[in-house]
C-alpha cells in the first residue's frame, strides 16, 4: 500500500529560521505536546500505538534533551557548532514525525515547530575577504549541487518504497536507516490509532490501519530496538575504555552496575566481532571484573 500524502500540506520552512534561534522553551513545548498526544492515545485504548510512537520519537528526544541542557549549564557561552549540527538534525527529524501525525491538532505551534536551517558561517559573511577554502569551493559548485539533487531524488524514492513496503520480520527493516524505520513506526502507528475513531460521514475516508500495518509497526519497532541495544553495548564498552565507571554508566541508563555488566557480557558472548577495530587493550573479561567505581588506566598518549 502506497502512502497517500496528498492530504498532508508541506512542512513549513523558512530559511531565515536557523537552528541557533531554537530555545529550550521550544523543546519543552514539543515534549509537553507529545506527552498530551500519547496520553490521549492511551486513554482512547491505543496503548500499544502510544508505546511504539514513544519509542520512535525517543530516538530524537533522548539526544535533544541533553543538547538543549547546554543553555542551562552554560548560560553565558555560545552553543558549540557540533552541538548545533546535532540539534539541527534531530530537531528536523522530530518536526517531520510530529507533522506527519499532528500538524492539524490543537496546540501544534506552526510558527516555531518547523524545519530549521544552518546559520550562515562567518566565513561566508566575510565575503571576498575570506580566505579561499577548496572544500567550500567544491561543495558550492554547480556540479556538486546537481549531484546532491540527484542523490536526494533517488534517496527519496528508496525511502518512499521502504515506507510503503509491508514488513513482516525485523530483518526486513534492518538495512534501512534508523530515521526511515522510525518514520514507518510513527506514520503507521498514527494510522492504527485512527481505528479507535468512531466512523461518521465526515471521516469516512479517514486512513485506518490494517493487520498488515500493525505487523509492519511491530517488526520495524523490533528492528529499531535491536539496533539500539547492539549500539548500546558498544557505547558501554567505549565509555569504559575512555575512563567512565560502571556506576556512572549505570546511572546514565537508570540501571544498576550489575545489570549493565550482564548486558555487556551478553552482547560480548553473542557477537564475537562486536568490538572489532575498537580499543581492545583491556579484555572484556577484565572490564567485567572492575569495581563499580574503578576506571581503566589511561594510555600515555591520552594523558
Q: What is the pLDDT of residues 71-113, one digit of tens each?
A: 888 877 888 888 888 888 888 888 888 887 788 888 988 888 8
Quick check: 4 pLDDT over 70? no
Report d(CA 61, CA 83) in Å as an integer: 14
Lowest mean pLDDT among 45-49, 141-145, 229-233: 141-145
Residue 276 CB-density burial (10 A; 0-12 exposed, 13-18 middle, 19+ buried): exposed
Distances (CA, A) of 95 to 89, 205, 286, 291: 10, 25, 44, 43
- Confidence (pTM): 0.43
Quick check: 17 pLDDT over 70? yes
Dihedral of CA 177/179/182/184: which sign? Answer: negative
Grid cell for residue 193: 490509532
Strand partners, 117: 18
Mean pLDDT of 160-180: 88
**Long-range CB contact pairs, 217-220, < 8 A, 24+:** 217/49, 217/52, 217/184, 217/185, 217/188, 217/189, 217/192, 218/52, 219/167, 219/168, 219/169, 219/170, 219/172, 219/173, 220/167, 220/170, 220/173, 220/181, 220/184, 220/185
Grid look-up 513506526 returns 185
Q: What is the pLDDT of residues 257-295, one digit of tens each?
A: 999 999 888 888 876 666 555 556 778 888 999 999 999
The pLDDT score that the predictor gives to residue 47 is 85
Grid cell for residue 293: 567505581
Instruction: Give 300's DSSP letter.
Output: G
Grid cell for residue 302: 591520552
The pLDDT score that the predictor gives to residue 115 is 87
Mean pLDDT of 203-221: 85
Dihedral of CA 249/65/98/35: which sign? Answer: positive
- Integer-rounded Cα radius of gyration of the chain: 23
Residues 6 or more apart in contact with residue 241 via CB below 8 angstroms: 278, 279, 281, 282, 287, 296
Amino acid at each position: 500500500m502506497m502512502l497517500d500524502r496528498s492530504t498532508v500540506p508541506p512542512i513549513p520552512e523558512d530559511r531565515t529560521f536557523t537552528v541557533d534561534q531554537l530555545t529550550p522553551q521550544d523543546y519543552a513545548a514539543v515534549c509537553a505536546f507529545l506527552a498530551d498526544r500519547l496520553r490521549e492515545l492511551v486513554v482512547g485504548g491505543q496503548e500499544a500505538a502510544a508505546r511504539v510512537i514513544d519509542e520512535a520519537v525517543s530516538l530524537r528526544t533522548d539526544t535533544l534533551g541533553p543538547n538543549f541542557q547546554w543553555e542551562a549549564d552554560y548560560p553565558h557561552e555560545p552553543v558549540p557548532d557540533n552541538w548545533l549540527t546535532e540539534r539541527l538534525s534531530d530537531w528536523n527529524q522530530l518536526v517531520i514525525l510530529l507533522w506527519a501525525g499532528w500538524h492539524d491538532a490543537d496546540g501544534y505551534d506552526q510558527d516555531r515547530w518547523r524545519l530549521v536551517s544552518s546559520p550562515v558561517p562567518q566565513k561566508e559573511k566575510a565575503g571576498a575577504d575570506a580566505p579561499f577554502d577548496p572544500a567550500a569551493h567544491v561543495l558550492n559548485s554547480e556540479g556538486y549541487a546537481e549531484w546532491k539533487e540527484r542523490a536526494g531524488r533517488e534517496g527519496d524514492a528508496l525511502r518512499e518504497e521502504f515506507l510503503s513496503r509491508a514488513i513482516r520480520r525485523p530483518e526486513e527493516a534492518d538495512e534501512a536507516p534508523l530515521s526511515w524505520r522510525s518514520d514507518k513506526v510513527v506514520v503507521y502507528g498514527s494510522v492504527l490509532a485512527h481505528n479507535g475513531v468512531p466512523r461518521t460521514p465526515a471521516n469516512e475516508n479517514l486512513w485506518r490501519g490494517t493487520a498488515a500495518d500493525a505487523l509492519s509497526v511491530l517488526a520495524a519497532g523490533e528492528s529499531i530496538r535491536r539496533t539500539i541495544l547492539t549500539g548500546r553495548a558498544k557505547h558501554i564498552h567505549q565509555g569504559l575504555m575512555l575512563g567512565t565507571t560502571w556506576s556512572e554508566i549505570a546511572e546514565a541508563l537508570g540501571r544498576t552496575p550489575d545489570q549493565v555488566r550482564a548486558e555487556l557480557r551478553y552482547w560480548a558472548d553473542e557477537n564475537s566481532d562486536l568490538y572489532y577495530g575498537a580499543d581492545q587493550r583491556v579484555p572484556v573479561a577484565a572490564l567485567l571484573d572492575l569495581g563499580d567505581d574503578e576506571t581503566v588506566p589511561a594510555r600515555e598518549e591520552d594523558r
